[in-house]
A and B are shown apart, each in its own frame.
Chain A
Amino acid sequence: MSFISIVFYVFAALTVFAAVGVITSRNPVHAALFLVLAFCSASGIWMTLEAEFLAIVLILVYVGAVMVLFLFVVMMLDVNLIQLREGFWRWFPFGAGLAGLMVFEMVWVLGSRQTSDTVSAITHPANYSNTKELGRLIYTDYVYPFELAAVILLVAMVAAIALTLRRRAGVKSQNVADQVKVKAKDRIRIVKMAAESKDSVSN
């Protein structure tokens, strides 16, 4: 067994362990942290495939941003753990069936003769840049699908903001532009008056 396969099996085992942890842990925060571990080990597997751009971006985007916001929400939820576990056995057959179907599909696709013959790990020289290759493909051959995806994301973002934006009357907030525009003479008035003499003070 080569070093790279040992690395692969370690990461694969970690991914499965973390994925099981996501669905079995009682506490939603623990489940979210297990999901983070699953992402990290999946990123490790991608790294063994020399897909360093995807591996690092998985960490950067999913672990570094998406899961942080996810944790943010989960931590602030007031969840009733007992209520959450009530539906477990009712939905278990459905979930198990779905999982079985997915395992079957993956074994079917990945284990079939055609894929195992044609797909093999391609190794590249050390100066090969996965990032550059990917960028070149995205901005030439796949530029329209890429831009379409970007527009769909933009629409989703605008929609999310439009759904949650509420304008309430009577809210006190500061307008920074107005604050910056303020000059000293708007706020204080300097009054000139004659100095008082010593006699008037003593009286």
Chain B
Amino acid sequence: MMEFLQTLEQAGQNLLGPAWLPLWTVVKIMLIVGPLMGCVAYLTLAERKVIGWMQIRIGPNRVGYFGLLQPLADGIKLLMKEIILPSGSNKFLFIVGPIMSLMPALAAWAVVPFNAELVLSDVNAGLLYILAMTSLGVYGVIIAGWASNSKYAFLGALRSAAQIVSYEIAMGFALVTVLMASQSLNLGEIVAGQKGSAGALNWFVVPLFPMFLVYLISGVAEANRAPFDVAEGESEIVAGFHVEYSGMAFALFFLAEYANMILIAFLTSIMFLGGWLSPLPFLPDSIVWLFGKVAFILFLFLWFRATFPRYRYDQLMRLGWKVFIPLSIVWVVVVGAWMQTPLWVW
């Protein structure tokens, strides 16, 4: 596989010269974004099926065998619908909102490694880049909520902004502990730091277990998923920030939410669950492990949605500020002290 890629790159260099690098990069971007969009489409189907089964329903089963063409049908339906611009809205920002929401969700994938060699951009400050990109996602929500010129949309945007800013702090501190344990900001090296003879016991989830929980729960909050979906809150503010959106503009928010979910699942697997490393020392490391871990975390997202009722807003803020942030700061100190002792074996 790798030899084939090298010969391909060599041939391209000879054939196209300086034009080859941008072209090849675009091809690589397509190879990430294309399957990602496919995953997003089928994640929506998986969500409806899984939650259906949990509630002893069947879920979508009419379009295609086993409902497998349902995402396609949904996509076509959304494409055919009219995008309504509310007359009182700020037209330019109304269009920019969904774009600003999807853009960071896709841009963050530039540094996500799939195995030791397979990464679009192997940068040293990868972890910082991911943090910066995920923190930009809130702009889509704020701009959409404000530009809609609607009370429900605006309330949803304010809720979402406060929530994302709050949970980002705890998430950042959780990543600081990972950074301390791995001594690198490069995602590939973070995975390499979890390699060892003990298999799954070498993963950072073992010494950093509280931070794993903080990161996962904050991730659910960052992606505005149930039980933290107060930004949408159907029962309180109709649909929150995207209440005025229709057709493909709405679909972009939908895509961004699911792309963010998949991103957070990938990041959790890479930083705490050893990425592509195998849990048992005698089995080979493979990208299959990474996909398995991601699928499990995505299943957790769906499971949470089927299980928990929505948080009340003040409880949500309390959890973020009074539980997660102090806990993560304390754990940074604990890990720092622990690393100075011989008991630190990771």
Which residues of A approach B to under 8 Å, CB–CB?
29, 33, 36, 52-53, 56-57, 59-60, 63-65, 68-69, 71-72, 75-76, 127, 129-131, 176
CB distance from B34 to the nearest CB of A (A): 27
**Count of residues in B whose CB is under 8 Å from the partner chain:** 25
Is the Cβ of B162 less than 8 Å from the Cβ of A72? yes
Residue pair A64, B138 in contact (C-beta under 8 Å): yes
Q: Give the number of residue pairs across the A-B interface with Cβ within 8 Å.
A: 68
Query: Per-position contact with A for B122-160: 1 when CB-CB < 8 Å, else 0?
Result: 011100110110011011001100100000001001100
- Residues of chain B contacted by A130 (CB below 8 angstroms): 124-125
Please pick, from B125, B139, B164, the residue contacting A52 in the complex, using a CB distance under 8 A: B125
Question: Is the C-beta of B310 less than 8 angstroms from some C-beta in chain A?
Answer: no
B185 near A: Cβ within 8 Å? yes
Is B318 touching A59 in the complex (CB atoms < 8 A)?
no
B131-A53 in contact (CB<8A) = no
| Chain A residues touching B, majority SS | helix
A52→B124 contact, CB < 8 A? yes
**Bound complex: CA of A63 vs CA of B142, how far in Å?**
13
Question: Given contacts A53-B128, A64-B138, A75-B158, could you give 12 more A-B pairs where the C-beta distance is less than 8 Å?
Answer: A52-B128, A56-B128, A56-B129, A57-B128, A57-B132, A69-B161, A75-B146, A75-B154, A130-B125, A131-B124, A131-B128, A176-B318
Contacting A at CB under 8 A, from B96-144, are 123-125, 128-129, 131-132, 135-136, 138-139, 142-143
Within the complex, the shortest CB–CB distance from A1 to chain B, in Å, comes to: 15
Chain A neighbourhood of B164, CB < 8 A: 68
**Is the CB–CB distance between B154 and A60 below 8 Å?**
no
Interface class of chain B by DSSP: helix
Does B165 sit at the interface, judged by CB under 8 A?
Answer: yes
- How far is B168's CA from A60's CA once the two chains are assembled, in angstroms? 10
Q: A52-B125, A65-B168, A72-B161 are in contact. Are A59 and B143 (CB under 8 A)?
A: no
**Interfacial chain A residues near B123, Cβ < 8 Å:** 52
Residues of chain B within 8 A of A63, CB atoms compared: 132, 135-136
Closest A-B pairs by Cβ, 4 of them: A64-B135, A59-B132, A60-B132, A56-B128
- Whether A64 lies near B132 (C-beta < 8 A) is yes
Is B161's CB under 8 angstroms from A68's CB?
yes
- Chain B 220-239, CB-CB to A under 8 Å as 1, else 0, gives 00000000000000000000
Question: Contact between A72 and B136 (Cβ–Cβ < 8 Å)?
Answer: no
A129 to B179, CA, bound (A): 14
A50 to chain B, nearest CB (A): 11
Instruction: Provide the bound-state CA to CA distance between A52 and B129, in Å.
Output: 9
**Residues of A with C-beta under 8 A to B135:** 59-60, 63-65
